[in-house]
């Protein structure tokens, strides 16, 4: 499951496989376009379908037998763009 490194810790990537660091580096170049996209989504009350997709990752629980479903902690990874949009929405509704 590749991922970006952040202080020696691997971070798992969402379905688009774009690391958060890459999105941050792109902001000076495409930030205005991203802002307009998100404002349009808010204005239309639309959350893009592609941002609703997630990658399921099962994290093994220490000391549990591998053959049981309860031996894993499920997490769902979403795209960095979806995370940003969720923060925009949360900020707008006041968390």
| pTM beyond 0.75, yes or no | no
Per the CB < 8 A criterion, the answer to whether 23 and 70 are in contact is no
Tens-digit pLDDT profile for residues 42-81: 999 999 999 999 999 999 999 999 999 999 999 999 999 9
Domain boundaries, position 10: 3-93
How is 44-58 classified by DSSP, letter by letter?
HT---GGGG--EEEE
Count of domains observed in the chain: 1
How many CB atoms are located within 10 Å of the residue 47 CB? 14
What percent of the chain has a predicted confidence (pLDDT) above 90? 79
Q: Tokens representing 67?
A: 């053959």
């Amino acid at each position: 499951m590749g991922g970006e490194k952040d202080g020696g810790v691997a971070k798992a990537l969402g379905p688009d496989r774009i690391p958060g660091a890459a999105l941050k580096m792109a902001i000076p170049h495409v930030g205005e376009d991203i802002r307009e996209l998100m404002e349009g989504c808010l204005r239309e009350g639309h959350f893009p379908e592609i941002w609703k997709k997630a990658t399921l990752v099962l994290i093994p629980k220490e000391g549990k037998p591998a053959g049981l479903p309860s031996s894993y902690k499920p997490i769902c990874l979403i795209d960095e763009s979806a995370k940003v949009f969720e923060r925009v929405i949360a900020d707008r509704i006041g968390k």
